[in-house]
Amino acid sequence: MPGERLDFKSMCARFDVTPRTLRHYEYIELLAPAREGRARYYGPREIARMTLILRGRRFGFSLEEIRQWLELHDKDPEGRIQRQAWLEMADRQLRELRDRRRELDEVIAELETLRDETAKGAD
């Protein structure tokens, strides 16, 4: 919804995050909810940012990387710089994830070999 507004509790529920996580994202200025007295309200911008934050975390980006990337939107409303930065971040992260997958494949193969050798010795 274009004018959607969520209170603090609804925001936590919608994104399945703890209140502590949401407050931390505010503290490090990833989110800036509107305030009415002590209440916080998250509009479409904050909801979109939260979606991007959680997606970035899922892909393994640090909060600092995500913060820097989100700041580019404010400096470049057309999004050219932000898109280029995203492509560079994605390429770097893909390389890292592929390296980790190779390492995991090696560890799995080694563990399988050791397990099989141990199983043969138990017969």
The residue ranges of every structural domain in the chain are: 1-61, 76-123
pLDDT along the chain (123 residues), means of 10: 86 97 96 94 95 95 93 82 92 96 97 94 76
What is the rounded distance in angstroms from the CA atom of residue 35 to the CA atom of residue 53?
A: 21
Under CATH, which number does the domain 1-61 receive? Answer: 1.10.1660.10
Token pair, residue 4, equals 């959607």
- The strand order across the sheet containing 34-36 reads 6-7, 39-42, 34-36
Query: What is residue 113's three-state secondary structure?
Result: helix
| Under 8 Å between Cβ of 50 and 41 | no
- Tokens 């390296």 correspond to 99
